[in-house]
Amino acid sequence: MRFRHPDGSTVHLAYCTNVHAAEQLEGVLAQLTEYAEPVRRRLHRDRLGIGLWLARDVARTLTDDPAAVRRLRAGLDRAGLEVVTLNGFPYQGFGDAHVKYRVYRPDWTDDARLDHTTDLARLLAAMLPEDVREGSVSTLPLAWRTGFDAEARHRALTRLHTLAQRLDALEELTGRSLRVGLEPEPGCTIETTADAIRALTGEDAPPAHRIGVCLDTCHLATAFEDPATAVTALTEAGVPVVKSQLSAALHADEPARDDVRDALAEFAEPRFLHQTRALAPDGTLTAVDDLDRALAPGALPRNGPWRSHFHVPLHAPLTPPLTATLPVLKETLTHLVGGPAPLTHHLEVETYTWQALPPALRPTTRARLADGLAAELTVARDMLTDLGLKELP
């Protein structure tokens, strides 16, 4: 979906296909007709943006075979779809029954991450619509925090410098400008926007015209960051917001109550990591790596609200006593695209946890999942039009 900002520029809205577990080309092609095209039809649009997730194996297939790229391009065209952004965070196995910490491997200390991200950028340059010059790729925020020392940081930033050089060469060759956004995430070496500023400014920082941040509003909320403060700090530091992922976290106001913890326990599941944070009245933040650990006696203080990194659907209010952090999403959008000029032109709804929801909330058919994805995009669309952006045909 495309929107005209009051300054005349185009803002793109997509949904991320990492919700669909396919890691071979045939599976990716099937997603287009089984899910993305039905979502487009539900929205009554001639064209719909998707943020493709291309796992390592399918990316290699496409990189090695120009005919395969043409097949993917043709499939997108037939389904009325366009791609201006890729989700390069998960490397492989994101549809597995047990993902957890494996999603952070390989990290930016490993050449495999550099090469995969380079492949994604090259593929995106070949898939961008004819009238679009700029594309974006989101990626993990260097690494998971454990064992990440000064030497690891140096190796990771060195690879980002190499990536920037490759992206410069790619623009010379294709005329397409590709940027990569590190996605701050709880528990990672870059957890907050302040961490991102420290990593992306200074003498050893990669060039800002290629490397910035992907601002995920679920992660922002889980860390109890204030959107206005975060966006202002990024802007003042000269760190670009390459893209933003529109998502909502799980929020519990009164975790001391038994019924609140019982409700949270329904979201503790074995597939994804749900980092959880507790905010004390004095502003102190206490962290654990997963929701089941948070619920263990004494793991987190219970005298203030909790938030958990569980992407909950944007359109479906949770049953009390739990809520979602939609106000954080809305305020972040206001600061990103509600001003005189957008701070980013790429927005992506990213609720990948549909099949990890409590059973009563899970879609049981393809049609119901398509209904949910379309409803989420409708919520995001309404937020944008409320900010004065005009939806384009």
Query: What per-residue confidence (pLDDT) applies to 376?
Result: 98
Give pLDDT, residue 317: 82
pLDDT of residue 105 exceeding 90: yes
Distance CA 127, CA 15 (A): 16
Q: What share of the chain is helix, strand, coil (3-state, %, to 5)?
A: 40, 20, 40
- In 3D, which of 95, 79, 94, 70 has the Cα closest to residue 36? 79
Determine the average pLDDT of the residues in 9-37. 97
The CA dihedral of 94, 348, 358, 325, to the nearest 10 degrees, is: 130
Quote the CA–CA distance of 222 and 331 in Å, as a whole number. 15
Whether 306 contacts 391, CB under 8 Å: no
- pLDDT per position as a tens digit, 333-353: 999 999 999 999 999 999 999
What pLDDT, on a 0 to 100 scale, did the predictor assign at position 271?
98
CATH topology of domain 2-249+323-391: TIM Barrel (3.20.20)
Backbone angles phi, psi at 137, to 5 degrees: -135, 130
| Cβ 306 vs Cβ 277: under 8 Å | yes
According to the model, what pLDDT value does residue 202 have?
A: 86
CA–CA separation, 128 vs 77, rounded Å? Answer: 11
Q: What mean pLDDT comes out for the span 237-252?
A: 98
pLDDT surpassing 90 at residue 241: yes
Q: By three-state DSSP, how is residue 303 classified?
A: coil
Rounded to the nearest integer, the mean pLDDT of the chain is: 97
What's the confidence (pLDDT) of residue 316? 86
Helix ranges restricted to H, 43-149: 56-64, 66-78, 111-127
Domain edges within the chain: 2-249+323-391
Q: What is the pLDDT of residue 57?
A: 97
